[in-house]
Each structure stands twice: as C-alpha cells, then as structure tokens.
Structure 1
Amino acid sequence: MTFRSKRDRTFIGFISVAIIIIALATLLPAMFEIFTQVPDMTAVWITIVLFLLCTGFIGWISFDIEYTFKDDYLFVRGGPFRSKIPYEDITKVKPTSNILAGYRILSSKDALEIHYKKALTGSVIISPERQEVFLQVLVEKAPHIHLMK
C-alpha cells in the first residue's frame, strides 16, 4: 500500500519563495546582461540551464514523495532520497510539528516521527496524506511499536 505525502500551504509557500530566490539569483543577472550590453549568450544559457536544474531538483524532492508498505519494510522515497525501514527496527511513532531538524522526507507540518534502531539520526519525519490509515497499516505490519499521541 502506498501513501502520498500531504502538502500544506506553508510548504508550498516555502518552496515558492525558494524558487523565487533562485530565479532572482540566476535569471536577473542574465536579463541584465541581455538588456544592458552585448550579451554573452553562452553565459546566459548556462544561467538558464542552472535555474532549470535547481528548480527541477527542488520540485523532484518536494513533490515526488511516497511512503510504501512492502512485505518486510517501510519504503520512504522523496526524489532521489530513499530509506528502507525494517518493521522490526521501528520502536515508536509520534506526531511532531518540528519539521526543520533531523532527517525528513515530507511536505507538511502535520507530520509523524518514526524512530528506528538503525537510523543515522535516530528517526525519520514523514507526512502521509491519510495519517490515521497509515498508522493502522503500520500497526498491522509492526504490532510491537509504541504509538505516542
């Protein structure tokens, strides 16, 4: 069973501001070059390509987020970042609003922190769309976990 990541306005706003800042840092100098002097078209194309690569990567890691229940593990994927979390390694799950620290693959403030034994940072923070159903499936797969409210 696969769950998509929940998206909220705060996250969309944050990503939009990041893309605007990248656009100002890359495209504004390119436009200034085009309109004020004889443009070096190679430099202009390089900045446009850099803008597209940066925004494409941000879009990929921000909007291509899934949490999939496999037979033996929870597969968490956000763009190129992937984690296989064996059910037997999960110790506890708790709601969290602290989404700025730690290993996180999410797109909402309404998040769950999954603690597991072999995590580099001790946990992963995720934001499944249907959180109650996600927790039900997780408890079915790993009945030993401690759910905190």
Structure 2
Amino acid sequence: MTFRAKVDSFFIGFMAVAIVIISSVYLFPLYRDYSKGTLTSSTTAVVLTLLFLSVGFLLWVTLFIKYEFRDVYLFVKGGPVKSRIRYEDVTKVSPSTDILTGYRILSAKKSIEIFYKTSVFGSVKITPRDEQAFLNELKKRCPHAKFHSAYQ
C-alpha cells in the first residue's frame, strides 16, 4: 500500500522562498558579469545548468515523496533519500508541527513523527496525504507501538 505526501500552502511558500534565494545566488554573478561586459556564453551555460540542477534536485527531494507499506518494513522515499523502518522497531507514533529539526521526509507543516529503535535521529517525520488510512494501516502492522491519544 503506497501513500503520497500531502503538500500544504506553508510548505509551498517555504519552497518558493528557497528557490528565489538559490536563483539569486546563481543569477547575481551573471548579472554582474553582464553589466561589466565580461559575460561569456560558456559561463552562462555552466551557471544556468547548475541552477537548474540545484532547483530540480530540491523539487525532486521534496515533491516526489512516498511512503510504502511493505511486508516487514515501511519504505520512506523522498528523491534519493530512502529509509526502511522495520515494523518491529517502531516504538511510538505522535503528531508534530516542527519541520526544521530532526530527520524529516515531509512536505507539510502538520506531520506524523514515527519513533523507532534503529534511527540515527530517533525518529522520522512524515506527512501522508490520507493520514487516517495511513495510521490505520500502521496500527495493524505495529500493534505493539504506543500511539498518541490524538490517534486513538
């Protein structure tokens, strides 16, 4: 069973600001060289290629997120970032609104934090589009885990 990540307006705004900042960092030197008359086509090609790769990677990592229930683990993927969380290792599931700290593969402010034994950071924050169906499936596969009272 596969779930896609939900994307909220806060996250869209956050990504827009990040893309504007990244674009400014790449394009300002081009503008400076253009105004001095020292801009070359090879410089333009290299800088624009790096800009498109950077923005493309950022969008890939954040917008193509999926959470997949497999036989013995939950597979979490956001771009090249992948995690396999064994159901037996899940200890606790709780809500979270903190998107700036910890290990997170999400695209919305309101998230589910899954604590598990083998995590380097202790937990992962995710945002499935159909939260209730995701939690129901997680409860079936992790009956031993402690679920926050908001998820009862």
Task: Report TM bin, short chain.
Answer: over 0.9
Q: Which residue of 2 aligns with 1:33?
A: 33
Paired position in structure 2 for 1:120: 120
Aligned residues: 149
CA distance in 2, matches of 1:28, 1:48: 12
Match of 1:16 in 2: 16
The residue aligned with 2:136 is 136
Who is 1:44 aligned against? 44
Extract structure 1 runs of 4+ deviating beyond 6 A.
none
CA distance in 1, matches of 2:38, 2:147: 64
Query: In structure 1, how many angstroms separate the alpha carbons of the residues matched to 2:38 and 2:107?
Result: 43
1:24-61: CA deviations, max 9, x gaps?
A: 11123213423540422222211111101110110000
Q: Residue 99 of structure 1 corresponds to which residue in structure 2? A: 99
Residues in 2 aligned to 1:130 and 1:93: alpha-carbon distance in whole angstroms:
16
Q: Compute the RMSD of aligned alpha carbons.
A: 1.1
Question: What SS class does the counterpart of residue 119 from structure 2 fall into?
Answer: coil
Query: Which runs of 5 or more structure 2 residues have no equivalent in the other structure?
Result: none
What residue identity is the alignment partner of 1:110? Answer: K
Distance between the aligned counterparts of 1:124 and 1:110, measured in 2?
13
Unaligned runs of 5+ in 1: none
Identity %: 44
Counterpart of 1:41, as a letter, is: S
After the TM superposition, which residues 32-111 of structure 1 pair with which residues of structure 2 at under 5 Å, given as runs? 32-111=32-111
Which TM-score applies when normalising by structure 2? 0.94
